[in-house]
Amino acid sequence: MHLDDGQIRAYFDGEPGDLTLDEIRQHLAACPECRARLEQVRQRAARVSQRLSFFAPPVGEPSPASRLAAKPALAQFTHRLNQNKEYPMSQKIFRARTAWAGLVVILLLVIALSIPSGFAWAGQFLGLFRVQQVAVIPIDPTGLMALKGDSGLGQQIGQLISKSITFDQKPGKPYMVASAAEASKAAGFSVRLPTSETGAPQLAVQPGASFKFVVDRARAQALLDESGHQDLVLPQSLDNESIAVTVPTAVTASFGACPALNEDTTSQFGSKGRRYADCVILAQIPSPTVNTPPDVDVQKLAQIGLQFTGMSASQAQAFAQSVDWTSSLVIPLPKNAATYDQVPVDGVTGYLIQRPVDDAPEFALVWVKNGTIYTVGGLGADSARAIAIANSLK
């Protein structure tokens, strides 16, 4: 009966195995074969240990990694947590690949804010919204944070919305196309590409979708009440109102090293900023259309929506009045998540939204021209490249 290599290995380290050190010592003293194997195991362990020696924690001198001390790291962690969990929509905007989904979400905001008050003409869709410009509304997410803590309520609201939506045409999966001409044919509009980029873009087509949204006013109000907003009263008349949304087919053009078409980058953190630092994605989509019953008091509902995010009634009223809700792509931007500037691009005024986080900057340039929404998004801080793309579109 001999010792096995595992017993010998543990003995060599002076660590516990299934035999005591004394038992092994006694056996080795009497067994030249096991002593020879001990020597083999010892030498191999030493070689491997030498090759892996850089894993040994440094003694005394702090490692380069510890320059990011735990407290700043925690602050960074909390920041990322909020970026990821509190503002999924703003992240969607930054992800030009899925820009159309972001647009749908924004449109849902428009819908949510545009549920009609006054009298209802059920079944008639006379008010037609078309996006003609971009508006950014800085919101204070503290009101929403309180809500997120209550998962029960969040889930109920999600259920209400998903029950209220029926798809006429479900959004299909994006697919690659070989040329701008092919993309234009698939999308039904003339795709524009920049001359400022030297490399050929990867072109993808994201099929559109259309759906109806039927308002269950009683449940929506109950949820508003439950969230502590008894002061916000939805008009009785909007019960069973139907709102139809059509999202056209979108085209994206990716420049540089970009994520693969259906690669899930949402579950990755941080390092994608370096992995895809030179990736810039241009997306273009004709304005989605939203059909609502006429006589919608959009401003009033916008005000309710803004108050819901935590604005005071007077602030919300001022903001609601400052935006033409029927023709604006409204981007609610959490105040502490990103900065935005108006910039002249492509002959119109666009918005450059930037998330100036040291480790993972992101930007999105958004503008609307001739009824088409354009976004140029990227990871990194090179927003000048986005502006060059916008200004060189042909």
Partner 1 sequence: MTFKKSRASSEPLRPAESTPQFEATFLEHWPRVVALLQRLVGDGDEAEDLALDTFMRLYQRKPSDGNELNVGGWLHRVAMNLGLNAIRGWKRRQRYELESGKNELFEKHPAAPPELFAAEEQRRCVRLILSQMELRQAQILILRSSGQSYREIAAALGVSVTSIGTLLNRAEVEFEKRYRAAYPEGG
Report the site for partner 1 in 6-65 (rule: CB under 8 A).
6-11, 13, 15-18, 41, 44-45, 47-49, 51-57, 63-65
CA distances from 339 to 101, 316, 351, 356, 373 (A): 22, 20, 10, 8, 20
Q: Is 342 helix (H, G, I), strand (E, B) or coil?
A: strand
Of 68-87, binders to partner 1 (CB under 8 A) are 68-71, 73-74, 76-78, 80-82, 84-86
Closest approach of partner 1 to the CB of residue 391, in Å: 30
Out of 25, 33, 39, 66, the only residue in the binding site for partner 1 (CB under 8 A) is 66
Q: Does 67 bind partner 1 (CB under 8 A)?
A: yes
Of 183-222, binders to partner 1 (CB under 8 A) are 220
DSSP codes joined into one string, 309-331? TT--HHHHHHHHHHS-TTTEEEE
Alpha helix positions (H), the chain: 5-13, 21-30, 32-51, 70-85, 88-94, 99-113, 142-148, 151-164, 180-187, 217-226, 272-275, 298-308, 313-322, 383-391
Of 311-340, binders to partner 1 (CB under 8 A) are 332
Q: Is 64 exposed, middle or buried (0-12, 13-18, 19+ CB in 10 A)?
A: exposed
Closest approach of partner 1 to the CB of residue 162, in Å: 7
Q: Do 261 and 204 form a contact (C-beta atoms < 8 A)?
A: yes
The nearer residue to partner 1, 2 or 47, going by C-beta atoms, is: 47
Q: Do 176 and 215 form a contact (C-beta atoms < 8 A)?
A: no
Closest approach of partner 1 to the CB of residue 47, in Å: 7
The nearer residue to partner 1, 41 or 191, going by C-beta atoms, is: 41
Of 245-304, binders to partner 1 (CB under 8 A) are 268-271, 273-275
Q: Do 107 and 293 form a contact (C-beta atoms < 8 A)?
A: no
Out of 34, 103, 108, 389, the only residue in the binding site for partner 1 (CB under 8 A) is 108
Q: Do 204 and 252 form a contact (C-beta atoms < 8 A)?
A: yes
Q: Return the range that interacts with partner 1 (CB under 8 A); candidates 1-9, 128-136, 313-321, 340-348.
A: 1-9
The nearer residue to partner 1, 154 or 184, going by C-beta atoms, is: 154
Q: How far apart, in whole angstroms, are the C-alpha atoms of residue 192 and residue 251?
A: 10
Closest approach of partner 1 to the CB of residue 199, in Å: 16
The nearer residue to partner 1, 41 or 177, going by C-beta atoms, is: 41
Q: Do 92 and 84 form a contact (C-beta atoms < 8 A)?
A: no
The nearer residue to partner 1, 30 or 69, going by C-beta atoms, is: 69
DSSP 3-state percent helix, strand, coil across the chain (nearest 5): 40, 25, 35
Q: Return the range that interacts with partner 1 (CB under 8 A); candidates 117-125, 153-161, 187-195, 386-394.
A: 153-161
Of 368-387, binders to partner 1 (CB under 8 A) are none
Q: Return the range that interacts with partner 1 (CB under 8 A); candidates 154-162, 168-176, 278-286, 317-325.
A: 154-162
Q: Which residues pair with 375 in a beta bridge?
A: 283, 366
Q: Do 213 and 245 form a contact (C-beta atoms < 8 A)?
A: yes
Number of residues that bind partner 1 (CB under 8 A): 87
Closest approach of partner 1 to the CB of residue 48, in Å: 5
